[in-house]
């Protein structure tokens, strides 16, 4: 006999209530409990709900927030997993919280950010209608083993839901290979133009054709292995995207303006978030908007209005100083952040917070694959470099080998002292933390500077 759904829901809610009373924002304990009692709980709770799910290596949170803004503009009634609780346990907990005790979801729409490997577990039971795959890069290989495991995980996830519409990044040769093996309806999105004049030095995660093993050729590369690729040998090539950025009109420290093509026309859009990689995130959000039948105007308004999420270029003010926090976790993502920082015009203070807990990835060797040399080459605009986190020493050494004078590298382990020190000259600060370093810094900001807690 199955464990009764009502009691499962009540127990989970109680666990969550207790955790919050203890001042902890965790969602994993209630979710683990729910899945233990009822492994198929998502099947019941997601009945009659239209689920939009975002997965892939980089950009999940930002794409989710952009789609959320589309939902707001469209007046949808929805719930979403907010605090980076994107494993099957966190997602189960969110469904529990947003359902009645009888197991009926209170919202017609659910917007879910989902970890690449948790995806197949979630889609096994949950009734997912739309899937967005951001891209596939090398990420935390200590956990995923190899990039092909990520690809297989996403394939399995989509394989569970043949009726779902899938939005794929046309410029990612790994993602597009999914299309040929699945019966799903696919909408491609991508960039019909290069992204930067001056790219960082980086390695490609997929230099060879996934079908025949011959090196790809490119009409242009946007970043990493993304771009207009083709294989001379077997003819595998980038598909034509239905939703595409046709031109980058301008880029600055706060936004990027682009010409965005939808199936029925073009719009000039100001994406309210800086950084070239966010142009991809915007195209992904536009693709799912199109798939859902939202008007172009709703989508473009959303991209212009939305505010960024947890640790993704989040801006706060401390001691009258702008402090931006940008999560880094793998070389492709870090290189995108470094490209953005390289283009800022005024001097700034740069902080890297390197932790090596499980959620960060226990292998920190990716810092050697990220082009920190680019940051060092900023000259006078590199006002100061501070490193923090469990593996601060290693990061300091990385900066030394990137060519920075060791005298100019400060190690400050105490976050309280760190925030005080980096804001004392009132020069803009960019903090690049790994995941758990971000949680700790965020917690301290809320405690000492009363910046709101992230799960509220």
Partner 1 sequence: MDTLKICHLYPDTLNLYGDRGNILCMKKRMEWRGLPVEIAEISVGEHFDPYDYDIYFIGGGQDFEQEVLLKDLAGEKGTAIKRAVDEEKVFLTICGGYQILGNYYKTWDGVQCDFLGAIDVYTVGEKKRMVGDFMFRLSEEDGGSIVTGFENHSGKTYLGKDVRPLGKILRGHGNNGEDGTEGARFKNVFASYSHGPLLPKNPKLCDFILKTALARKDPNISLKALDDTFENRAAAFMEKRLSAE
Binding site for partner 1 (CB under 8 A): 138, 141-142, 145-148, 203-204, 207-208, 213, 215, 362-369, 391, 393-394, 396-398, 400-401, 406, 409
CA distance 374 to 399: 11
Least separation in angstroms between residue 412's CB and partner 1 is 14
Residue 204 or 339: which CB sits closer to partner 1? 204
Least separation in angstroms between residue 308's CB and partner 1 is 29
Residue 294 or 395: which CB sits closer to partner 1? 395
SS3 313: strand
Residue 155 or 208: which CB sits closer to partner 1? 208
Residue 287 or 395: which CB sits closer to partner 1? 395
DSSP-derived secondary structure letter, 311: T
Residue among 307, 284, 328, 313 at smallest CA distance from 63: 284
Q: Which two tokens stand for residue 2?
A: 């199955």
Least separation in angstroms between residue 374's CB and partner 1 is 14
Residue 32 or 330: which CB sits closer to partner 1? 330
Residue among 198, 190, 196 at smallest CA distance from 239: 190
Least separation in angstroms between residue 240's CB and partner 1 is 27
Least separation in angstroms between residue 360's CB and partner 1 is 13
CA distance 359 to 444: 19
Place of tokens 């990420």: 139
Least separation in angstroms between residue 214's CB and partner 1 is 8
- For 347, other C-beta atoms within 10 Å of its C-beta total 15
SS3 98: coil
Residue 261 or 398: which CB sits closer to partner 1? 398
Residue among 386, 280, 398, 399 at smallest CA distance from 333: 280
Contacts of 106 (CB under 8 A, 6+ apart): 79, 98, 99, 100
């Amino acid at each position: 006999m199955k464990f009764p759904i009502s009691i499962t829901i009540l127990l989970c809610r109680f666990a969550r209530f207790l955790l919050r009373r203890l001042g902890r924002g965790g969602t994993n304990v209630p979710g683990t409990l729910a899945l233990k009692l009822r492994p198929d709980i998502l099947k019941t709770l997601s009945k009659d709900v239209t689920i939009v799910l975002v997965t892939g290596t980089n950009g999940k949170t930002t794409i989710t927030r952009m789609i959320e803004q589309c939902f707001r503009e469209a007046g949808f009634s929805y719930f979403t997993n907010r605090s980076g609780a994107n494993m099957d346990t966190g997602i189960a907990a969110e469904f529990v919280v947003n359902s009645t005790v009888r197991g009926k979801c209170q919202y017609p729409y659910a917007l879910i950010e989902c970890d690449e490997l948790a995806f197949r577990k979630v889609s096994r039971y949950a009734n997912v209608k739309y899937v967005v795959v951001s891209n596939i890069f090398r990420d935390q290989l200590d956990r995923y083993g190899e990039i092909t495991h990520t690809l297989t995980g996403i394939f399995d996830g989509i394989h569970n839901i043949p009726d779902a519409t899938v939005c794929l990044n046309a410029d990612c040769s790994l993602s597009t290979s999914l299309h040929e093996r699945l019966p799903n309806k696919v909408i491609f999105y991508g960039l019909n133009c290069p992204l930067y004049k001056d790219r960082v030095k980086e390695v490609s995660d997929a230099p060879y054709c996934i079908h025949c093993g011959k090196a790809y050729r490119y009409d242009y590369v946007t970043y990493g292995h993304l771009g207009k690729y083709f294989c001379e040998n077997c003819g595998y090539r980038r598909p034509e995207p239905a939703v595409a950025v046709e031109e980058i009109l301008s880029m600055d420290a706060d936004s990027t303006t682009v010409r965005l093509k939808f199936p029925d026309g073009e719009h000039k859009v100001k994406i309210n978030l800086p950084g070239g990689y966010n142009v991809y995130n915007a195209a992904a959000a536009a693709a799912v908007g199109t798939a859902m039948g939202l008007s172009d105007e709703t989508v473009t308004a959303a991209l212009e209005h939305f505010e960024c999420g947890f640790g993704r270029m989040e801006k706060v003010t401390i001691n009258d100083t702008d402090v931006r926090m940008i999560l880094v976790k793998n070389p492709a993502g870090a290189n995108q952040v470094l490209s953005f920082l390289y283009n800022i015009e005024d001097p700034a203070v740069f902080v890297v917070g390197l932790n090596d807990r499980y959620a960060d990835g226990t292998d920190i060797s990716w810092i050697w694959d990220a082009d920190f040399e680019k940051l060092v080459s900023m000259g006078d605009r590199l006002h100061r470099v501070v490193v923090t986190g469990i593996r601060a020493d290693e990061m300091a050494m990385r900066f030394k080998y990137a060519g920075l004078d060791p005298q100019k590298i400060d190690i400050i382990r105490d976050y309280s002292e760190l925030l005080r020190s980096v804001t004392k000259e009132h020069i803009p600060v960019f903090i690049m933390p790994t995941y758990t370093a971000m949680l700790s810094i965020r917690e301290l900001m809320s405690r000492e500077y009363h910046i709101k807690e992230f799960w509220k």
